[in-house]
Structure 1
Amino acid sequence: MTPTVEKIARTDAGLASVLRVSVARLGRRLRTEQDPAVDLSVAAFSVLGALAREGELTVGQLATHERVQPPSMTRTVNCLVEDGFVVRRPHETDGRQVLVALSGAGRDAIARERRRRDAWLVHRLRELTPEEREVLRTAAPLLERLSSA
């Protein structure tokens, strides 16, 4: 007989294990809600999301934000430029730098994806009791804090 999640999560190590698996599964499940008409990788959507949250960034800043090497980010940005989701422009004060920003198509794509994934999650949240949803309201800021470290 396998131990229940509640039993496993009684220790910090058990809680870490349960959270790791659950958050990873939820993330994978949310990614499957991608609009089939928009053929972008997880990495590309992550870049669009970073630009939506942070505003225009250099390729180096994007690479740091996404924890990848600059050449990898350059390839991702090149693809996003080719597909019309982002635009590049020269930096105002540093001629060696290029700024990357969302295009109108990029803003539309990220908004559609967020609406689609949020709708799926709202549907699933409605399957929970009001008390369970309240627990998640309390946990959400803590999960955000853990994810931003």
Structure 2
Amino acid sequence: MSDLSSGAADGDTARTVADAAAGAIAPDDVAAISALRSAVMRLGRRLKHQRVDESLSPTEMSVLGTLARCGSATPGELARKEHVQPPSMTRIVALLEAKGLVRLEPHPDDRRQKVVSQTERAEAMLDESRRKRNAWLAELAEGLDEDEWAKLRAAAPVLEKLAHL
């Protein structure tokens, strides 16, 4: 069994598709990586449609999720975490503030900066969104047998780790 399929994902064992092209990854692992990518993308697209507030873009939802996970941040920190340019994040934050989902407060150490925090309204909306998406996933998972459930439970922490690398 390869390191990837056994769940190892540290810097020594993580491999890229470029490595696969160079012959560094076994063909079975290339197929597994491709299947994983395809499944995650399809599932992600379907999850995006399970939104509570259709007026928010996926990017706006992602920023709110980042604030929920990481706490308050400057627009620059949010831009880095979301992999967008700072001017784009400034626009996103302004839209979220106009919708009452974030508030801007002075930075405690740098008067030139602002700190972005989510509002109670955003927290409630995110909670409802999580409930809706979890219910949708639970409904899908009802069709799994015990062996598939066991594999899914084992895969969840590995997928979470990959999402944060």
TM-score (norm 1): 0.90
Counterpart pick for 1:89 among 105, 125, 133: 105
* Structure 1 runs, 4 residues or longer, greater than 2 Å off: none
Correspondence for 1:5: none
Correspondence for 1:17: 34
Task: Give the C-alpha shift of residue 131 in structure 1.
Answer: 1.3
Unaligned residue ranges in structure 1 (runs of 5+): 1-9
Correspondence for 1:119: 135
Hey, what's the Cα distance between the residues in 2 that align with 1:145 and 1:106? 26
Confirm whether residue 30 of structure 1 aligns to residue 54 of structure 2.
no
Confirm whether residue 46 of structure 1 aligns to residue 71 of structure 2.
no
- SS of the equivalent of 1:57 reads coil
Larger helix fraction of residues = 1
- Aligned residues: percent identity? 43
- SS of the equivalent of 2:103 reads strand
- SS of the equivalent of 2:105 reads strand
Counterpart amino acid of 2:31?
G
Task: Give the C-alpha shift of residue 127 in structure 1.
Answer: 1.3
- SS of the equivalent of 1:11 reads helix
Task: Give the C-alpha shift of residue 38 in structure 1.
Answer: 4.0
Task: Give the C-alpha shift of residue 102 in structure 1.
Answer: 0.5
Hey, what's the Cα distance between the residues in 2 that align with 1:96 and 1:118? 40
Counterpart amino acid of 1:55?
G
Counterpart amino acid of 1:17?
S
- SS of the equivalent of 2:121 reads helix
Any residues of structure 2 matched to 1:100-115 within 5 Å, and which? 100-115=116-131
| Number of equivalences | 140
Counterpart pick for 2:154 among 115, 138, 143: 138
Residues 103-139 of structure 1 deviation map (CA, whole Å, 9 limit, x = unaligned)? 1111111111111001100111121011101101111
